[in-house]
Copies of this chain bind each other. A is one copy, B any other.
């Protein structure tokens, strides 16, 4: 595989609206994607739009949300993952396997409506890496 642009940085937060307000008032961000629920993933997400990338704010949704464990360890929130674009998630999974790297779960549709997968953080210096196909235009 060959990673392309850094699509977004995922940040877990206890409250989306408070986090968005902080990006607005402290950092002067003006462009957002308003919160929406991804029920199957157990998250509610919003985006801070930057000229070249996005910050994905992630709030737990439902009792089984994978973000709950993260927030128990980091109650104020914290950096959760980094997402790179790849041409093909299927090819990326095969290439990762050939390098001995394991993915987490099955490929699924992410917050951008395209296929994505996570590579286990043990393969990337403790950083959870998301690989996603860019939106087709």
**A-side interface residues toward B, CB under 8 Å?**
1-6, 9, 11-14, 19, 22, 25-30, 50-53, 55, 74, 76-79, 82, 84, 95-96, 99, 101, 119, 121-127, 129
Contacts and interface: CB of A to CB of B under 8 A. Distances in A.
Query: How many copies of this chain are found per oligomer?
Result: 2
Contacts of A99: 25-26
Contacts of A14: 125
Contact of A30 (B2, B55, B124): B2
A122 to B, nearest CB: 7
Contacts of A22: 123-125
B78 A19 contact: no
Nearest to A8: B6
Contact of A55 (B1, B6, B119): B6
